[in-house]
Amino acid sequence: MDPLRAALSQFVPRDDREARDVARLRAGFDRGDVWSRDLALHATASALVVHPPTRRVLLRHHTRMGGWFQVGGHGDPGETDPWAIAVREAEEETGLRDLRAPFPALDRRLVQVVIVPVPAARDEPEHEHADLRYLLATDTPDAVRAEAPEAPVRWFTLPEARDVVHEPNLRAFLDRTQAMLDQPDAFLLASPTHRPTHDPEEHPA
């Protein structure tokens, strides 16, 4: 099975909005390569890097977007595995080489799927990213190195991260991260508190 389809088959949206975003992404399978940047809605993959012993998270500052975000981005030509893309992007943007799932149950397992608008810039028109989000961990937080001076990375406690993050969907990602750090087994095994009202497998008309 295609790695993206496999990842989505194991993912349960936690509310109706997330279910709609997953359905829109699935519908894209019928329109060609969902990773192609030529599509107005295309897939990206990202990760929130955490240092479990100190419960800190690593964020990168994006000048274009005007704030702090998780690391991640587009697949390179030929890449189709969202987990591999998220790990590669995280390594490139942080300099960390020991990235892994924080515990086995989260290995290659999606934590959040969200469609986000991206403003136009240079020769790129306004478009949307269907972002596939993972949680990664490091044991060497002091080894972090920014990819470029204009793309600084910084460790935050979870409360500090909530203060500097402006996007509601990223705050939700931080909330899920805290829940997983608090009780990983309970979080992963629990049913979502808000079940989608339609089958996420169904494509919208």
Summarize pLDDT for 141-178 with one digit per residue, the tens: 999 999 999 999 999 999 999 999 999 999 999 999 99
Which band of pLDDT confidence, cut at 50, 70 and 90, is reported for residue 187?
A: low
Please name the residue that has the structure tokens 């992404």.
Answer: 25
**Percent of the chain clearing pLDDT 70 (strictly above):** 90
What are the E-state strand segments in 119-180?
A: 127-137, 153-157
Domains and CATH numbers, the chain: 3-189 (3.90.79.10)
**Parallel/antiparallel/unpaired status of strands 41-51 and 153-157:** unpaired
HSE of 183, CA atoms in CB hemisphere, 13 A: 4
Q: Using one digit for the tens of pLDDT, what is the confidence trace for 71-84?
A: 999 999 999 999 99
Q: Model-level pTM greater than 0.75?
A: yes
Angstrom distances, CA of residue 15 to CA of 20, 38, 64, 98, 130? 9, 29, 29, 33, 16
Instruction: Say what the alpha-carbon torsion angle 186, 116, 15, 31 is, to the nearest 10 degrees.
Output: -110
Spatial distance between the Cα atoms of 155 and 110, rounded to a whole number of angstroms: 22
- The DSSP element (H or E) to which 132 belongs, if any, is strand 127-137
The pLDDT, as a whole number, for residue 48 is 98
